[in-house]
């Protein structure tokens, strides 16, 4: 279980990284924390002619509140974000979801943007970004563009990122007053890949639920004004739309059941903390 | 900008357990293999090589991380700590190692080096961690022998020791 040989570049700036990407195109992989990339390289599931290591780029190592968003640079680790003092106030859903991302030891290296770039259907950060309607900032030698979460993650490990682009930042909407959120997850062992993960946001009668681990990308739906049997019926219709299939970890039936039951629970929890 | 071709062999240098070391690497060399095969420091174990088992956990700049998910070149210029650095120069075990011994927190010992490094990092960050915090850290490790009860007991014991001493 050793990776095949690859070249290694450690640019000093995001602009340098973009130039390298323009040179290598899809032959190169961006290395930030490496907590998703290294396992795939070790397993030889991916091949890269070159790794472009952005983890030491100073200008990508920041967390700041700009306007109504929390912007997180591509070199910021999950542990650094979790330690951001205002996180529970700024984006409570991130504070609630991050402890489910891997283990302490992988969060110490794994980055927020790297998790978004990897786009695993069961991973928590893409789910939080999708549920909140956040966005991703992409940079290439051609320029910069901003892509909304819904347009960014297209499917299993597939995103709208072009081969010559790198994620330089992710933006999560700050939680507005009177809004509540909740997160929960079922996994074989805490920190392992989620069988199902759920994120909910409630603002008055407006209810939004995001589900990871069932479809090939985080699925988000609105359940505005629904409660009781109506909510159950809507959740049931939603879960059948998601598809989902049996795998090693759980049956599709079990996953549907989790979404129906936990979906209702997280929505109610989000409502309770919005009051 | 540092740029290495795939088969280029260069020397990296970092602080290992307080002493500067250097050795040759190729870009694809994992930190776990560098420690074991190049430096002969076999205290760091390798189980799964994909980040799941925690056997390879070391500390980089104080943080517990997976050596199998870190390239050796990424450790260049950093401060790396491994299980070899825990006991005193005279071979006297540290408080956490002592507690592992006392509470039978190991049988085969394959997982122990990683657990010791993770827990050492925790005790340095949080002087007196709660049981939940300890469990969360242990959750990043697999032990196929002990059933974890001894490991937890050892860590809890050290939270008491820690209050009286300043180092573990
Ligand atoms: S060998 Fe590194 S986590 Fe298992
Ligand atoms: S003591 Fe054998 S694996 Fe933990």
Of B1, B33, B137, the CB nearest to A9: B1
Q: What is the pLDDT of residue A122?
A: 92
Q: Is B66 helix (H, G, I), strand (E, B) or coil?
A: strand
Architecture in CATH for domain B95-167: Orthogonal Bundle (1.10)
| pLDDT range class, residue B164, cuts 50, 70, 90 | low
Contact A129, A6 (CB under 8 A): no
Q: What is the pLDDT of residue B108?
A: 97
Of A7, A8, A105, the CB nearest to B65: A105
* B65 vs B82: CA distance, rounded Å: 11
**Of ligand 1's atoms, which has the minimum distance to the CA of residue B56?**
2
Q: What angle do CA B76, B81, B83 make, to 5 degrees?
A: 140
- The minimum CA-CA distance between A80 and chain B, rounded to whole Å, is 11
Domain boundaries, chain A: 7-53, 58-173, 179-274
pTM of the model: 0.95
Q: What is the pLDDT of residue A190?
A: 83
pLDDT per 10-residue tile (average), chain A, 275 residues: 95 98 95 97 95 98 97 98 97 98 97 97 96 98 97 94 97 96 92 92 96 94 96 97 88 95 97 90
- Do B2 and A9 count as a contact with CB atoms less than 8 A apart? yes
pLDDT tens readout for residues B7-63? 999 999 999 999 999 999 999 999 999 999 999 999 999 999 999 999 999 999 999
* CA distances, A231 to each of A196, A212, B10, B90 (Å): 19, 19, 61, 67
B81 CA from centroid of ligand 2 (Å): 21
* A62 vs A43: CA distance, rounded Å: 32
Of B26, B50, B136, the CB nearest to A104: B136
* CA distances, A250 to each of A237, A253, A255, B52 (Å): 20, 8, 7, 19
Q: What is the pLDDT of residue A248?
A: 84
Beta bridge partners of A137: A146, A169
Q: What is the pLDDT of residue B162?
A: 59
Residue of B nearest to A13 (CA): B1
| pLDDT range class, residue B161, cuts 50, 70, 90 | low
Q: What is the pLDDT of residue B127?
A: 80
Residue of B nearest to A104 (CA): B137
- Do B6 and A191 count as a contact with CB atoms less than 8 A apart? no
Pocket residue to mutate for ligand 2, from B52, B53, B106, B118, most atoms within 8 A of Cβ: B106
Q: For chain A, list residues whose CB is within 8 angstroms of any CB belonging to chain B.
A: 1-12, 16, 31, 34-35, 38-39, 41-43, 49-51, 53, 55, 79, 99, 102-106, 108-109, 189-191
Q: What is the pLDDT of residue B165?
A: 55
- Do A106 and B1 count as a contact with CB atoms less than 8 A apart? no
Q: Is B90 helix (H, G, I), strand (E, B) or coil?
A: coil
* B42 vs B36: CA distance, rounded Å: 5
Q: Which residues in chain B have their CB less than 8 angstroms from residue A190's CB?
A: 136, 139
Q: What secondary structure letter does DSSP report for B11? A: E
Integer-rounded Cα Rg, in Å, for chain B is 16
- Do A105 and B139 count as a contact with CB atoms less than 8 A apart? no
What is the DSSP annotation of B98-167? HHHHHTT--SS-TTHHHHHHHHHHHHHHSSS--HHHHHHHHTT---SSS-SHHHHHHHHHHHHHHHH-S-
Residue of A nearest to B51 (CA): A39
Of B4, B28, B140, the CB nearest to A2: B28
Pick the CATH number of A7-53 from 3.30.43.10, 2.60.40.10, 3.40.50.300, 1.10.3720.10: 3.30.43.10
pLDDT tens readout for residues A179-237? 999 999 999 888 888 999 999 999 999 999 999 999 999 999 999 999 999 999 999 99
Q: What is the pLDDT of residue B167?
A: 52
Nearest bound ligand to the CA of residue B109: 2
> Quick one: angle between helices B112-125 and B131-138, nearest 10?
140
For the domain spanning B3-83, the CATH number is: 3.10.20.30
Q: Which residues in chain B have their CB less than 8 angstroms from residue A102's CB?
A: 51, 140
* CA distances, A228 to each of A223, A265, A267 (Å): 12, 11, 12
Answer whether residue B168 shows pLDDT above 60: no
For the domain spanning A179-274, the CATH number is: 3.30.390.50
Q: What is the pLDDT of residue B113?
A: 98
| DSSP H/E element including B13 | strand B10-16
Long-range pairs of A142-146 with CB within 8 A, sequence gap ≥ 24: A144/A168, A146/A171
> Is the minimum distance from the CB of B113 to ligand 1 under 6 angstroms?
no
Q: Which residue in B143, B147, B168 sits closest to B158, CA to CA?
A: B168
What is the DSSP annotation of chain A? --PPP-EEEE-SSHHHHHHHHHHHGGGEEEESS-TTHHHHHHTTSS--SEEEE-TT-GGG--EEEETTEEEEETT-BHHHHHT-TTHHHH-HHHHHHGGGSS-HHHHTT-BHHHHHHHT-TT-HHHHHHHHHT-EEEEEETTEEEEEEHHHHEEETTEES--TT-EEEEEEEEPPPTTEEEEEEEEESSTTS-EEEEEEEEEETTEEEEEEESSSSS-EEEE-TT--HHHHHHHHHHHHHHT-----SS--HHHHHHHHHHHHHHHHHHHHHTT-
Query: At the top level of CATH, which class does the domain A58-173 belong to?
Result: alpha beta
Q: What is the pLDDT of residue A191?
A: 81
Cα end-to-end span (Å), chain B: 39
- Do A34 and B71 count as a contact with CB atoms less than 8 A apart? yes
Question: Within a 13 Å sphere around the CA of A97, how many CA atoms are in the beta-carbon half?
Answer: 34
Integer-rounded Cα Rg, in Å, for chain A is 19
Domain boundaries, chain B: 3-83, 95-167
């Amino acid at each position: 279980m050793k990776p095949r040989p690859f070249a290694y570049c450690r640019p000093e700036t995001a602009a340098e990284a973009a130039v390298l990407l323009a040179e290598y195109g899809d032959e190169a992989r961006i290395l930030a924390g490496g907590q998703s990339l290294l396992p795939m390289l070790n397993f030889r599931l991916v091949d890269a002619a070159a790794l472009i290591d952005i983890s030491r780029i100073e200008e990508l190592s920041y967390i700041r509140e700009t306007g109504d968003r929390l912007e997180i640079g591509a070199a910021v680790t999950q542990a650094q974000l979790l330690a951001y003092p205002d996180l529970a106030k700024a984006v409570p859903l991130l504070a609630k979801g991050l402890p489910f991302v891997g283990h302490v030891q992988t969060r110490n290296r794994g980055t927020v943007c790297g998790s978004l770039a990897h786009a695993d259907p069961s991973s928590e950060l893409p789910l939080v970004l999708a549920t909140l309607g956040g966005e991703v900032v992409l940079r290439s030698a051609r320029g910069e563009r901003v892509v909304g979460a819904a347009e960014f993650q297209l499917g299993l490990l597939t995103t709208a990122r072009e081969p010559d682009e790198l994620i330089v930042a992710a933006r999560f909407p700050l939680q507005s007053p009177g809004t509540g959120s909740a997160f929960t997850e079922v996994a074989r062992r805490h920190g392992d890949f989620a069988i199902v993960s759920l994120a909910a946001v409630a603002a008055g009668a407006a209810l939004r639920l995001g589900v990871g681990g069932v479809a090939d990308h985080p699925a988000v739906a609105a359940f505005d004004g629904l409660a009781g049997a109506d909510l159950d019926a809507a959740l049931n219709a939603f879960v059948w739309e998601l598809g989902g299939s049996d795998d090693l970890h759980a049956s599709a039936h079990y996953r549907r059941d989790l979404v129906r039951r936990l979906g209702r629970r997280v929505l109610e929890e989000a409502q309770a903390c919005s009051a | 900008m540092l740029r290495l071709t795939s088969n280029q062999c260069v020397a990296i240098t970092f602080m290992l357990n307080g002493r500067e070391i250097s050795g040759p690497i190729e870009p694809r060399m994992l930190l776990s293999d560098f420690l074991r095969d190049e430096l002969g420091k076999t205290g760091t174990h390798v189980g799964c090589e994909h980040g799941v088992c925690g056997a390879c956990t070391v500390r980089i700049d104080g943080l517990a991380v997976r050596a199998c998910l870190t390239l050796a070149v990424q450790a260049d210029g950093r401060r790396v700590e491994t299980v070899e650095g825990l006991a005193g120069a005279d071979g006297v075990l540290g408080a956490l190692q002592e507690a592992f011994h006392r509470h039978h927190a190991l049988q085969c010992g394959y997982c122990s080096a990683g657990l010791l490094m993770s827990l050492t990092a925790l005790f340095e960050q949080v002087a007196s961690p709660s049981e939940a915090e300890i469990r969360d850290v242990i959750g990043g490790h697999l032990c196929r022998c002990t059933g974890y009860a001894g490991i937890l007991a050892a860590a809890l014991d050290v939270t008491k020791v820690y209050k009286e001493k300043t180092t573990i």
